Amino acid sequence: MPTPSRKPVEVRLIAGGIPAGQEMPARGPGSVTLVGAGPGDAELLTIKALKALQAAEVVLFDDLVAQEVLDLVHAQARCLAVGKRGGRESCAQGDINDLMVRFAKAGKRVVRLKCGDPMIFGRAGEEIARLQAEGIAVEVIPGITSASAMAAACKVSLTHRDHAQSVRFVTGHSRHGTLPDNLDWQGLADARTSLVIYMGGRTAGDLVAKLTAAGLSLATPAIAVRAVTRPDEKRWHGTLADLAQGVAGLGLEHPLLIGIGNAFAAAQAIDLACFEAALQASSA
């Protein structure tokens, strides 16, 4: 069923990257910059993203953007929470588009702050199209997408030449709250492909059923990571056979990533090696 909509919520930030008493740079024509906030850890922001946050007069930010990232916004900027969360009350995309247009036409420097990378499952295409149709200058500053952060955190090479010949990013959540009905399951059911599923927590059971029906072995390595790079990050690793149970154990308070394929066996091997090293150290 459709996700209920809500009005944007204005947030007054206490801390900022530039002191409240310092003048902001001179204002030019209104513009919009789509900024990737990365997976959560503020130290993973690009320098260009940081500069955009500190020069912004209006920031429209997603629900999942970490507070430590928001703390870098100029203290005088107007911040509006336009959160979008699957299965929860969210701002309608049309309303977000209208806000960007309204503020930009008023001559403001607007930042549309998105978790991860704006161009990967971030609806950036819809927003860019609307802004261009309105004649508004738009720039995109990329961020670290969650799949890259997960690979780094778990020390898994998504393109390890011995285990994976390709990488696929797939959404596990359609606008109807179910798996997309137009995915190529035969193409995805390949253990030599590093398959990363975004927003797949609530559909993990259906995902397993679709992949196994297409021929993927239940013994295929799998991992799941919740809140990657954040203080409450949690991980699970095992096989496709146990994926649905493992995902349920992580909880669904935060969106999570699922990784499936031979390359993800490395996560289990590394965790086991770390456990054995810690065990030896404690018994020494």
Cα–Cα separations (whole angstroms), residue 112 to 84, 108, 181, 220: 13, 12, 30, 39
- pLDDT given at position 4: 47
pLDDT exceeds 90 at position 30:
yes
Pick the most confident of 9-13, 88-92, 105-109.
105-109
Mean pLDDT, to the nearest integer, of 93-106? Answer: 96
Confidence of residue 85 (pLDDT cuts 50, 70, 90): low
| From 41, 84, 117, 190, the catalytic residue | 84
Confidence of residue 20 (pLDDT cuts 50, 70, 90): very low
Higher pLDDT, 43 or 268: 43
pTM confidence score: 0.83
| From 7, 48, 62, 105, the catalytic residue | 62
**Pair type for strands 109-114 and 166-171:** unpaired
Mean pLDDT, to the nearest integer, of 149-161? Answer: 94
pLDDT exceeds 80 at position 271:
no
Higher pLDDT, 4 or 262: 262
- pLDDT given at position 50: 97
- pLDDT given at position 28: 57
pLDDT exceeds 50 at position 142:
yes
Active site residue 84: yes
- pLDDT given at position 273: 52
Mean pLDDT, to the nearest integer, of 141-146? Answer: 98
- pLDDT given at position 60: 98
- pLDDT given at position 29: 76
Residue with token string 């797939």: 170
- pLDDT given at position 3: 46
- pLDDT given at position 2: 46
Task: Among 2-6, 43-47, 129-133, 204-208, name the one with the lowest average pLDDT.
Answer: 2-6
- pLDDT given at position 274: 52
Active site residue 234: no
- pLDDT given at position 269: 64
List domains and CATH numbers for the chain: 9-141 (3.40.1010.10), 146-271 (3.30.950.10)
Per the prediction, the chain carries an average pLDDT of 87
pLDDT exceeds 50 at position 205:
yes
pLDDT exceeds 90 at position 252:
no
DSSP string, the chain: -PPPB---EEE--S--SS-TTSPPPPP-S-EEEEEE-BSS-GGGS-HHHHHHHHH-SEEEE-TTS-HHHHTTS-TTSEEEE----TTS-B--HHHHHHHHHHHHHTT-EEEEEESB-TTSSS-HHHHHHHHHHTT-EEEEE----HHHHHHHHHT--TT-TTT-SEEEEEES--TTSS--TT--HHHH--TTEEEEEET-GGGHHHHHHHHHHTT--TTSEEEEEESTTSTT-EEEEEEGGGHHHHHHHH-SSS-EEEEESGGGHHHHHHHHHHHHHHHHHHH-
